[in-house]
Structure 1
Amino acid sequence: MNDDKEPQQGNPWVKSAMIWAGVVFALLLVVSLVENRDGATSGTAIAYSDFRSKIEGGQVKEVSVGPDHIYGTLNNGSKFSTVPVNDPGLIPLLDDYGVKYSGKAEEQPSFWMVLLYQSLPFLLILGVAFFVLRQMQKGGGAGGAMGFGKSKAKLLTEKSGRVTFDDVAGIDEAREELQEIVEFLKDPQKFSRLGGKIPKGALLVGSPGTGKTLLARAIAGEAGVPFFTISGSDFVEMFVGVGASRVRDMFEQAKKNAPCIVFIDEIDAVGRHRGAGLGNGNDEREQTLNQLLVEMDGFESNEGIIIVAATNRPDVLDPALLRPGRFDRQVVVPRPDIEGRVKILEVHMKKVPLAPDVDARTIARGTPGFSGADLANLVNEAALMAARRGKRLVASAEFEAAKDKVMMGAERKSMVMTEDEKKMTAYHEAGHAIVAVHEPASDPIHKATIIPRGRALGMVMRLPERDNYSYHRDKMYANLAVSMGGRVAEEIIFGYDKVSSGASGDIQYATRLARDMVTQWGMSDKLGPLQYEEQQGETFLGYSQSQRVHMSNETAKAIDQEIRRIVEAGYDRAKKVLSDFEAQLHLLANALLEYETLSGDEIKTLLDKGEITRDDGTKIKPSPIPVVGTSIPRSGRRGKGGLGGAAAAGA
């Protein structure tokens, strides 16, 4: 990175305003000095009656009588002035007291003073007009008056912070695919002599935080060419035709700096499907998109201009934007795998003083699904936490605490919970954990806690042993059973009437999973491998919205019945596990009540040996006796059946 940074330019509007304010201030200062000089020569103003009294008292030495003023000097040397009145006896009075007097013609203002007074308003008017015209005619900026049609694209050069491919990690495939663009910008003849043409546009597709903008800046940094950046929302304004004008102006700027890269972030703001405005084909956004299409593939040649755009919603883009000749290369920027996460962590850890016990691979193994931005935030949170604790190095303990904060939310230790609520939470989370331990297809437990985090009163965090790109049927049924474990534990321990609403999130997750199994993944024997819902949106976004296709009432009823059957099957599996291992449920709940947080290894050791020895030598040996007092009779527990009204109220 170049350390010689260019001094930051000030706002031109502020600079011009300061210049004209200085000119006006100088003019006013000249006028003030002239007036002060006249005041100094005229002396102290006195009343005419006092003037006569001073003459009669013999205090006046000499006077100068003018048509409008009388200036005089007293015997002590001080000067005075007064305004004369129609007094014919003034001259005899002066003669009687021997006062020296003379006539004085009124001074006319000099030519320069007249010119100054008369030209000042015209100078101000000319200054304002010049300022407005300069703002209207300045190139490359849209902030001036009448500059709505100017492009808001910002030009980034090497001096403003160079980014190269060394700063981009974890997305090797996307980087290699864009390396060809860099080679073309460095040596265009290498491709042109073989008749090849570089793609005019590259569309970076990926979920938020995966490094699309950073990758585009790295292309410009590697090629050493100007890099224009603009957001898709900067094109559209309330005035008709402004967006199209800004597109034209942006390409005019790019032609002057070719070869260059124009990066449009969040292009879906302007590149959505045309004709979606309820018949309004003259929409401002559509005009802007039409102009962008013409500029990318029009009669005029835009050689050396490469458009790189980024979006996390490629499904809403207009097909004309994605055809060959425009954005004919789509580069998927996925979430990094474990090797990519290791490289990303190593990049961000270079800026942080690390303790010897920090291992990037260990942290990467415990952060599946994290994007590059998530990992950067993790390193930053660990550094902030070490600073709050007064440490000089960031150790693995800070990274572990930061990971829990990012994944589960900040601890809310100040939240006051009653003993009954703590017991309910402990058994709820213990129910999830026991079912997860005894379900072979379930992911291993990372941590269980009853400390409120975020919006949850407690949490059992499970982490996969490796990155998963697809899920199997047995794992889905295991996840259903684990999600029902908390509700089942409440019913077994506290009874049917004491079930809480704490399982609302679990029920929501189980219902959504069962619905996807039936309607999208064809995992219902009754309904077969058919799709009954259409996905709205991209699957890599972490969520999906679905819409039912047209179907009969009988099919919709069968879908609802299958969803209920699958969720109830998970409930029954969880109930069987917790009934068979009720002693372990009490043991783990007692441990959570006493120590609040247990790691996955500690839970496994506790269930195997009945006690835990921590690193500091303390032993955890909770009592296996139930903490709720007397055991609840089996008749008070819920029998086999559907979810019932309690679950619906909890949801």
Structure 2
Amino acid sequence: MAKTLLFWIGLVLLGVVLWQFVQRSGSDEEREWTFSEFIHQVEQANVQEVEIVGSKVKGKTKDNTSFTTVAPDYKDLIPRLLAKNVAIKAKERSQSPWLTALITYAPFLLLIGIWIFFMRQMQSGGNKALSFGKSRAKLLSSQQKKVTFKDVAGAEEAKEELQEIIEFLKDPQKFQKLGGRIPKGVLLVGPPGTGKTLLARAIAGEASVPFFSISGSDFVEMFVGVGASRVRDLFEQGKKNAPCIVFIDEIDAVGRHRGAGLGGGHDEREQTLNQLLVEMDGFESNEGVILIAATNRPDVLDPALLRPGRFDRRVTVPRPDVKGREGILQVHTKKIPLSEDVNVSVLARGTPGFSGADLANLVNEAALNAARYDQQSVTMLDFESAKDKVLMGVERKSLIISDAEKRNTAYHEAGHALVATMLPQADRSTRSPLSRGGWPWV
């Protein structure tokens, strides 16, 4: 609305300027006479008509030459004009001094308005030209959809360690009355896709506090000092919204060893890290701001960042074991219709080394495969196909295999199935091909 109003005001001012320009360009052909020359031309009967507005006189001669002059308070002017048969038009001065001033200064007002408009555009929207030093952290308030520990599976040990953080945010007096100090910073370490970010959001959801989320790369800019300014602004926002959680994802982007860069101590990344270290020393745990960071490269972090008093608690989030994978699959399969033959335990035992993100992708691929064939539910065969696709890629139907290779493959796989059948201590889930009727060529 404000932009539209500003546009129409600018358009009106532009119209006034153009009208004034046309008026001035039209008056460039008029000759400016002195009053004595005007009286002389009247006496010579060369003036055909005049228009009198206040003390200003405009007129035309008999040869259609336009002129203008300023007449003083001369009493004999009108009788002289009438005596020479000059057509007289008289108008009162209707133009106010405010309108005259507006017309005079309209170009300057227009330029100032355009300058203000572009400056506001630069500060708002996606440009952020004048707000480099502001933090880009996203605030997830308690009114948005909460993520709790029920949505996190496969990291039971990590959840137990983080339970203290939740209790502190809910009841800080419980720890402070005995002189205890909650850790200022918690570093989540683990491979990609193990749910480090999800764990941090679950802490905020369990404690029902604001959650600031930012990536480590958001602090790094081309200009030196911008990242440090963003760090200061981030901690100021956290203190204003305390108690809260500040989460920095991929902190290794800004927290690497100092002195390794080409710029030395004046490097932008190192300046940002220095400011982060100062800010972490500057706030106390009783302020209710908990800093949580996540990385999969703890070996490259600066030792000053990991010392007690900053990130003084390290929580390892490993890849889930078979029980954890089963819990993750149960979380992700709640939203899709499953067939009766789907066994989540079998899927968990058949996906060793899968992270939480890999298992989520597995469930999604199985649902897409079922939808591709217009099925009403997702079957175990869809999960097996999705697992093969995730592990080995898309099936190569154009690959030509000779009959001899097919026969050798059949003998090999049949040997696996027979050994698994004959050994009593073998995992029964490995006999799934035989339980479905065996291979087509066996």
Structure 1 position 173, deviation (Å)? 1.1
- For 1:256 and 1:28, the matched residues in 2 are separated by 43
Give the residue type in structure 2 aligned to 1:259: P
- For 1:194 and 1:619, the matched residues in 2 are separated by 67
User: Is 1:250 the counterpart of 2:230 in the alignment?
Assistant: no
Which of the numbers 369, 372, 376 marks the counterpart of 1:388? Answer: 372
- Aligned counterpart, 1:203: 187
- For 2:358 and 2:249, the matched residues in 1 are separated by 20
**When the two structures are superposed, what TM-score results if normalisation uses the length of structure 2?**
0.73
- For 2:248 and 2:276, the matched residues in 1 are separated by 11
Which of the numbers 308, 325, 335 marks the counterpart of 2:309? Answer: 325
- For 2:170 and 2:439, the matched residues in 1 are separated by 65
Structure 1 position 400, deviation (Å)? 2.0
Q: Provide Cα deviations, 1:15-71, integer angstroms capped at 9, x if missing partner.
A: xxx6234323256369879x99xxxxxxxxxxxxxxxxxxxxxxxxxxxx9869xxx
**When the two structures are superposed, what TM-score results if normalisation uses the length of structure 1?**
0.51
Give the residue type in structure 1 aligned to 2:336: V
Give the residue type in structure 2 aligned to 1:221: G
Question: Aligned ranges for residues 31-180 of structure 1 at < 5 Å?
Answer: 86=62, 110-111=95-96, 114=100, 117-118=103-104, 120-130=106-116, 144-180=128-164
Bigger mean CA offset, 302-311 vs 189-198: 302-311
- Aligned counterpart, 2:7: 24
Instruction: Tell whether the 8 Å contact from 2:148 to 2:201 is kept in structure 1 after alignment.
Output: yes
- Aligned counterpart, 2:349: 365
Instruction: Tell whether the 8 Å contact from 1:142 to 1:152 is kept in structure 2 after alignment.
Output: no
- For 1:217 and 1:619, the matched residues in 2 are separated by 46
- Aligned counterpart, 1:304: 288
Q: Secondary structure, in 3 states, of the residue corresponding to 2:387?
A: helix
Which of the numbers 398, 419, 422 marks the counterpart of 2:402? Answer: 422
Q: Larger relative CO (CA 8 A, sep 6+): 1 or 2?
A: 2
- For 2:257 and 2:332, the matched residues in 1 are separated by 38
Q: Secondary structure, in 3 states, of the residue corresponding to 1:344?
A: helix
Q: Secondary structure, in 3 states, of the residue corresponding to 2:201?
A: helix
Q: Provide Cα deviations, 1:83-118, integer angstroms capped at 9, x if missing partner.
A: x99579xxxxxxxxxxxxx97568988547656545
- For 2:232 and 2:367, the matched residues in 1 are separated by 46
- Aligned counterpart, 2:37: none
- For 2:427 and 2:291, the matched residues in 1 are separated by 40
- For 1:256 and 1:619, the matched residues in 2 are separated by 65
Give the residue type in structure 2 aligned to 1:422: S
- For 2:402 and 2:277, the matched residues in 1 are separated by 61
Q: Secondary structure, in 3 states, of the residue corresponding to 1:293?
A: helix
Which stretches in structure 1 are left out of the alignment for 5+ residues? Answer: 1-17, 37-64, 69-83, 89-101, 446-463, 467-598, 606-612, 623-651
- Aligned counterpart, 1:339: 323
- For 2:430 and 2:283, the matched residues in 1 are separated by 64
User: Is 1:188 the counterpart of 2:168 in the alignment?
Assistant: no
- Aligned counterpart, 2:84: none
Instruction: Tell whether the 8 Å contact from 1:365 to 1:465 is kept in structure 2 after alignment.
Output: no
Structure 1 position 283, deviation (Å)? 2.1
Structure 1 position 290, deviation (Å)? 1.3
- For 1:137 and 1:621, the matched residues in 2 are separated by 70
Q: Secondary structure, in 3 states, of the residue corresponding to 2:222?
A: coil
- Aligned counterpart, 1:379: 363
CA, structure 1 residues 296+118, in 2 after alignment: closer, same or farther (shift >3 Å)?
Answer: same
Give the residue type in structure 2 aligned to 1:244: A
Give the residue type in structure 1 aligned to 2:384: E
Instruction: Tell whether the 8 Å contact from 1:379 to 1:399 is kept in structure 2 after alignment.
Output: yes
Structure 1 position 330, deviation (Å)? 0.7
Q: Provide Cα deviations, 1:419-457, integer angstroms capped at 9, x if missing partner.
A: xx535754775686588679x8xxx79xxxxxxxxxxxx
Instruction: Tell whether the 8 Å contact from 1:202 to 1:328 is kept in structure 2 after alignment.
Output: yes
Structure 1 position 295, deviation (Å)? 0.9
- For 2:326 and 2:162, the matched residues in 1 are separated by 22
Q: Provide Cα deviations, 1:509-567, integer angstroms capped at 9, x if missing partner.
A: xxxxxxxxxxxxxxxxxxxxxxxxxxxxxxxxxxxxxxxxxxxxxxxxxxxxxxxxxxx
Structure 1 position 350, deviation (Å)? 1.7
CA, structure 1 residues 416+118, in 2 after alignment: closer, same or farther (shift >3 Å)?
Answer: farther
Instruction: Tell whether the 8 Å contact from 2:49 to 2:88 is kept in structure 1 after alignment.
Output: yes
Which of the numbers 221, 225, 239 marks the counterpart of 1:241? Answer: 225
Question: Aligned ranges for residues 212-611 of structure 1 at < 5 Å?
Answer: 212-277=196-261, 280-298=264-282, 303-413=287-397, 415=398, 417=400, 421-423=401-403, 426=406, 429=409, 433=413, 601=431
Give the residue type in structure 2 aligned to 1:167: D
Q: Secondary structure, in 3 states, of the residue corresponding to 1:281?
A: helix
Instruction: Tell whether the 8 Å contact from 2:410 to 2:441 is kept in structure 1 after alignment.
Output: no
- For 1:119 and 1:621, the matched residues in 2 are separated by 93
Identity of aligned residues (%): 62
CA, structure 1 residues 249+279, in 2 after alignment: closer, same or farther (shift >3 Å)?
Answer: closer
Which stretches in structure 2 are left out of the alignment for 5+ residues? Answer: 20-47, 52-59, 65-86
Give the residue type in structure 2 aligned to 1:228: F
Structure 1 position 145, deviation (Å)? 2.1
Structure 1 position 210, deviation (Å)? 0.8
